[in-house]
């Protein structure tokens, strides 16, 4: 079972890295290139495009953050501490 957790954690970690790079590149191109073109067409369309881009990017960042936390939790080794059990027996 530990092997499956490690493999799932590694796959999730790699997927989160790929998604974060894609999100960053898409956000930069949307803000610098596409947003300027939309503002030239009409101001209302440009503001809508910019706000939708920011909201969607924020949601993707939250998803990627969750994926990183979950993958690191799956990859981490849990150490079992038996000392409290021995202390109960000594009383």
When pLDDT is averaged across residues 60-85 and rounded to a whole number, the result is: 84
Confirm whether 88 is domain-assigned: no
The Cα–Cα gap between 9 and 19 comes to 15
- Number of independent structural domains in the chain: 1
Q: How confident is the model at residue 83 (pLDDT cuts 50, 70, 90)?
A: low
State residue 49's pLDDT score. Answer: 87
- What tens digit of pLDDT does each residue of 12-64 get? 999 999 999 999 999 999 888 888 888 888 888 888 888 999 999 999 999 99
**Confidence (pLDDT) at 44:** 86
Q: Could you tell me the two tokens for 70?
A: 């979950």
pLDDT given for residue 72 in this prediction: 93
Angle formed by the axes of helices 43-75 and 2-29, to 10°?
Answer: 160
Does any domain span residue 28?
A: yes
Residue 1 CA: distances (Å) to CA of 6, 61, 68: 9, 30, 20
Task: Give the per-residue pLDDT at 90.
Answer: 61
Residue 82 belongs to some domain of the structure: no
In this structure, is residue 81 part of a structural domain?
no
- Asked whether residue 52 is assigned to any structural domain, the reply reads yes
Q: What is the dihedral of CA 6, 64, 78, 91, to 10 degrees?
A: -160
Res. 65: pLDDT tops 70: yes
The reply to whether 6 falls in a domain is: yes
In a domain, 70, yes or no: yes
C-alpha triplet 64, 5, 84: angle, nearest 5°: 110
For tokens 């989160």, what's the residue?
16
Range of the domain at 57: 2-76
Whether 64 maps to a domain, the answer reads yes
């Amino acid at each position: 079972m530990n092997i499956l957790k490690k493999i799932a954690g590694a796959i999730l970690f790699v997927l989160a890295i790929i998604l974060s790079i894609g999100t960053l590149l898409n956000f930069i191109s949307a803000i610098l290139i596409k947003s300027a073109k939309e503002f030239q067409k009409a101001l209302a369309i440009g503001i809508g495009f910019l706000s939708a881009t920011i909201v969607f990017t924020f949601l993707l960042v939250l998803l990627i953050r969750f994926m990183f936390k979950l993958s690191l939790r799956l990859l981490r080794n849990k150490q079992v501490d038996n000392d409290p059990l021995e202390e109960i027996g000594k009383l």
